[in-house]
Chains A and B, each alone.
Chain A
Amino acid sequence: AQSVTQPDIHITVSEGASLELRCNYSYGATPYLFWYVQSPGQGLQLLLKYFSGDTLVQGIKGFEAEFKRSQSSFNLRKPSVHWSDAAEYFCAVAPTGTASKLTFGTGTRLQVTL
Chain B
Amino acid sequence: KAGVTQTPRYLIKTRGQQVTLSCSPISGHRSVSWYQQTPGQGLQFLFEYFSETQRNKGNFPGRFSGRQFSNSRSEMNVSTLELGDSALYLCASSLDYRDYEQFFGPGTRLTVL
Q: Contact residues of A with B, CB < 8 Å?
A: 32, 34, 36, 41-46, 49, 51, 90, 94, 99-107
Whether the pair A102, B103 counts as a contact (CB closer than 8 A) is no
Is the contact region of chain B dominated by helix, strand, or loop, or is it mixed?
A: strand
Partner of A44, one of B48, B56, B90, B101: B90
Query: Which chain B positions have C-beta within 8 A of A44?
Result: 90, 92, 104
B63 at the interface (CB under 8 A from A): no
In the complex, which residue of chain A has the Cβ closest to the Cβ of B57? A99
Closest beta carbon of chain B to A1's beta carbon, Å: 11
Whether the pair B104, A36 counts as a contact (CB closer than 8 A) is yes
Q: Mark B69-113, 1 if CB is under 8 A from A, else 0.
A: 000000000000000000000101000000011111111010000
Number of A-B contacts (CB under 8 A): 53
> B interface, how many residues as a size bin?
20 to 34
In the complex, which residue of chain B has the Cβ closest to the Cβ of A96? B100
B58 at the interface (CB under 8 A from A): yes
Closest beta carbon of chain A to B64's beta carbon, Å: 14
In the complex, which residue of chain B has the Cβ closest to the Cβ of A98? B56
B33 at the interface (CB under 8 A from A): yes
Whether the pair A99, B104 counts as a contact (CB closer than 8 A) is no
Whether the pair B45, A49 counts as a contact (CB closer than 8 A) is no
Whether the pair A49, B101 counts as a contact (CB closer than 8 A) is yes
